[in-house]
Amino acid sequence: MKKVNKLLLSILVIFILSLWGEITFALELSWPDIPGLPKEMDSIEGFTAYAYGLIVSVGSFIAVGVLVWAGIDFITSHDVSRIKTKVIGALIGLVVLLIPYSLLITLNPEILNTTVKKLSCENLRVCIVREVKTLNSENAEVKTYVESTIQSQPNINKEGESETITIKRYHGLQNLYKSYSPNYQGGIIEIYSDNPDNDNLNLLVSGLTISNARSFKIIDKKEGVFFYDTEAYNSARDFPLFTDTGFSSFDAKKINSIDIINASKDKGIDHVGLLFNKNDYKQNCAPFFKDVPSISSDPLLGKVNFFSGEGSVKIFKRDRNKLKGSKIVLTLYNNTSCASRGSENLDSKDLIMNENKKCEIILIENEGNIGKAPDEEVKPECDKDNYNCKVTLKSLETIISPQIIEDACPNFAPNLYNQGLGEDILSFRIDSTAAIVMLNKYDICSMWDIKRISRGEGDCNQVNSQALNPNADFRAKKFYVIPY
């Protein structure tokens, strides 16, 4: 009996392997119609259902044959033990065949539904039609595929094939490029570039065709900043750089326009950046708050010299709803210890106690006029000796010029012995989450962000000046605050 069971099992396994090993060939054959089995054999799903039903049918036929054989054996030999073994083996085989079906139909009646709905572009975020034509065949064949995804391809249209890709629907496309050479080596051609004024991540694009290409590049919309190597948000040599945090170094010569994607701007969330002309956020810098079609023509960024080729950028994502009605208190000191007049909190490099000066500047929202100097008259309040001054300015997110500092902080004003802004800003305190940039008279920047600014008890921040380093050539003359 064991030999018979092994033989039956071997036949069944060989039968199954023969079915699966020739699936592609099997789909092209005409299989017999068997009652209860699917008749659609033009797909893998239909063939799988047909094969399983056929296996169950053949297995059931074998099991019934074994039971009939056992009955005949019982009549002729009366060997109950051997007959019992045959019957049990046949029943076990039937159970093994039917358990998967029973289990799946119990868990989910739809799980065995092999009917595949045809893809409808109307129900897809991405709908692509690919037409692949075989060229090296006497009978040229064109196969059409409808797909719901597409990725950048560094090598298509290989020898013997011609492929055309049509984008029927695509939600959230930023840029699409193609090249006539593999790996984008033959120069890139822009097929599509989104309007930089449109920050909608779900923008629907349709009707784009990629043909006669050996490679193409898909760039999706993301919240953050895109940098392009030519003006007007186009790429001629390299694909755009994207970042939502920043780069400590990049080739600044390839950065000529900036597209900011603020997909949540209706909710008050946006991005602002600081662009430096040296690596590691050093040297000259300027801020940007919106799309910049030409860096060289921008009133702020155009003053930053990028001829060295070095550059870095820092990106800040802010919720402007939290800034409404808020204020930032920035206190400037002419000593390295954030010490007021009469304070004992001094180090060996500070002035004597009675020469310590501070200027408290309260910055409030400038009604959306980002980067614009305050129009109101600057009216500071100072003590009688001008050692401690306090002023409120509608200058949140505004570069505070030396002239405004002189008016706001008379105690820091120039005198006969010190031209320009008088007292050096050697330390400062800030009470809110913000980045602060100090600039000298040459617009060389020194930046403090959330990682560098000290807060809480003892939150004194020292400015890298000649008071700390005799070789330093940095005297802070103006500043810039970015709350985030």
Q: Give the pLDDT of residue 21.
A: 42
What is the pairing mode between strands 358-364 and 388-393? parallel
- pLDDT(330) > 90: no
Q: What is the largest CA-CA distance in the chain?
A: 131
Encode pLDDT of 352-396 as tens digits: 445 778 888 888 876 655 655 666 677 888 887 777 888 888 777
Q: Give the pLDDT of residue 175.
A: 93
Q: How confident is the model at residue 423 (pLDDT cuts 50, 70, 90)?
A: low
Sign of CA dihedral 104, 105, 108, 113: positive
Find which of 67-76, 216-225, 314-323 is predicted with most confidence, using mean pLDDT.
216-225
**Answer CATH for 117-221 from 2.60.40, 3.30.200, 2.60.20, 3.40.30:** 2.60.20
- pLDDT(307) > 60: yes
Q: How far is CA 287 from the centre of its chain?
A: 22
Residue type, 325: G
CA angle 480, 276, 413 (to 5 degrees): 35
- pLDDT(344) > 80: no
- pLDDT(113) > 80: no
Q: Give the pLDDT of residue 94.
A: 73
Encode pLDDT of 130-152 as tens digits: 888 776 656 667 778 788 888 89
- pLDDT(416) > 70: no
Q: Give the pLDDT of residue 406.
A: 76
- pLDDT(206) > 80: yes
Q: Give the pLDDT of residue 32.
A: 57
Structural contact between residues 480 and 436, judged by C-beta atoms closer than 8 angstroms: yes
Portion of the chain with pLDDT greater than 70, in percent: 71
Q: Give the pLDDT of residue 25.
A: 39
* Per-chain mean pLDDT for the chain: 75
Encode pLDDT of 24-66 as tens digits: 334 444 555 555 555 555 555 556 666 666 677 777 777 777 7
* Residues forming beta bridges with residue 162, ordered by sequence position: 133
Structural contact between residues 290 and 324, judged by C-beta atoms closer than 8 angstroms: no
415-424 contacts, C-beta under 8 A, 24 or more apart = 420/477, 421/475, 421/477, 423/334, 423/357, 424/334, 424/463, 424/465, 424/466, 424/467, 424/475, 424/476
Q: How confident is the model at residue 313 (pLDDT cuts 50, 70, 90)?
A: very high
Q: Give the pLDDT of residue 418.
A: 47
Q: How far is CA 356 from the centre of its chain?
A: 48
Encode pLDDT of 233-242 as tens digits: 888 888 899 9
Identify the residue with better confidence: 290 or 452.
Answer: 290
Structural contact between residues 400 and 479, judged by C-beta atoms closer than 8 angstroms: yes
- The rounded distance, in Å, linking the Cα atoms of 477 and 442 is 9
- pLDDT(169) > 60: yes
Q: Give the pLDDT of residue 261.
A: 92
Say which residue the tokens 């090249």 belong to: 179
Beta-sheet strands, E only, within 291-439: 312-319, 327-333, 358-364, 381-382, 388-393, 427-430, 434-439
Structural contact between residues 427 and 333, judged by C-beta atoms closer than 8 angstroms: yes
**What residue spans define the domains of the chain?**
2-112, 117-221, 227-318, 323-483
- pLDDT(225) > 90: yes
Residue 431's nearest CA partner among 402, 401, 453 is: 453
Q: How many CB atoms sit inside 10 A of residue 363's CB?
A: 25
- pLDDT(404) > 90: no
Residue type, 214: R
Q: Give the pLDDT of residue 87.
A: 74
- pLDDT(226) > 90: yes
Residue 475's nearest CA partner among 448, 415, 466 is: 466
- Write the DSSP symbol of residue 379: -
Q: Give the pLDDT of residue 40.
A: 53
Matching CATH topology for 117-221 and 227-318?
yes
Residues with Cβ within 8 Å of residue 308, at least 6 apart in sequence: 252, 277, 278
Q: Give me the architecture of the 227-318 domain, per CATH.
A: Sandwich (2.60)
- The rounded distance, in Å, linking the Cα atoms of 41 and 33 is 11
- pLDDT(198) > 80: yes
Residue type, 193: S
